[in-house]
Amino acid sequence: MSSELSPIDKAKFVAAKQASSYVEDGMKVGLGSGSTAAWLVKCLGERVEKEGLKIKGVPTSSRTAALAREVGIEVISLDEAKWLDLTIDGADEYDGNLNLIKGGGGSLLQEKIVATASDQMIVIADASKQVETLGTFPLPIEVIPFGWQTTKTLVEETLIGMDVLGRKVTLRMNGDAPFYTDEGNHILDMHLNRIGNARQLSLIVNQIPGVVENGLFIDICDVVIIGFGDGRVESRDINEGSVEEDRIEFVETENLFADLND
């Protein structure tokens, strides 16, 4: 691992490296989306190349699927897999109960479907993603394009009665055009600042016509692996109530990670 990596990238790498050790030969593994999950895919690809690891990966985005194939991971659909041993993904925020906000990359629907179809979900993150209360990161919701402005108005009206500090809702854009998910939907980002009751908000928002799914992952994550820029990793298991610390050394070498950029 090159010493030219930034502290944030080093933190992402060591978290991904630690998480990759949970994957065993023959497993069916959900592969998350985003920059941190990309490190995980690369780490697994390194194990495929050097150890002959044989796994089947179910990607949560087209970008992850392309990267997985590139590094030698067999890619299958969730319908083919039916059920997964493990899903490893990143998060935009997580709290002390390992509840998450996800969807910053726009893949929250596939990510939630895959995570809930798994025996275990592991989140890999750097320490900056931990918060006392969810809501600093804008909460995304996936909505169908038909009548999206009406859906947005209904969401804004619903937020009036919710325990949140902010109520601004914006359509996610891709340059001058609306952003489209892999399913052809839009993303509305809710700038809430603080979510007092995430479970209640998740249930109510999903009842609004036009909303497909929201980015709150409640009682889904089992383990969070936190990486630090100095090589330290901390693994928190919500089911075991345990916290373990470890350290991963960096090796100056040419390897699969040379071309990985955020």
Task: Indicate if the pLDDT at residue 254 is higher than 60.
Answer: no
Q: How confident is the model over 20-79, as pLDDT tens digits? A: 999 999 999 999 998 899 999 999 999 999 999 999 999 999 999 999 999 999 999 999
Strand-pairing partners, residue 62, are: none
Check the annotation: does 65 bind a ligand: no
Q: Which tokens is 228 given?
A: 């630090």
pLDDT in tens, 121-179: 999 999 999 999 999 999 999 999 999 999 999 999 999 999 999 999 999 999 999 99
Annotated binding-site residue? 107? no
- Dist CA 6 CA 231 (whole Å): 12
- Is 36 labeled as ligand-binding? yes
Provide the residue type at 108 as one letter: L
Query: What is the dotted CATH code of the domain comprising 139-214?
Result: 3.30.70.260
Domain(s) of CATH 3.30.70.260: residues in the chain: 139-214
Residue 26 is labelled as binding a ligand: no
Q: Where does the chain hold its CATH 3.40.50.1360 domain(s)?
A: 7-130+219-247
The set of catalytic residues is: 111
Q: What is the mean pLDDT of the chain?
A: 94
Residue 237 assigned to a binding site: no
Question: What pLDDT, on the 0 to 100 scale, is given for residue 5?
Answer: 84
Class of domain 7-130+219-247: alpha beta
For the chain, give the percent of residues with pLDDT over 70. 94
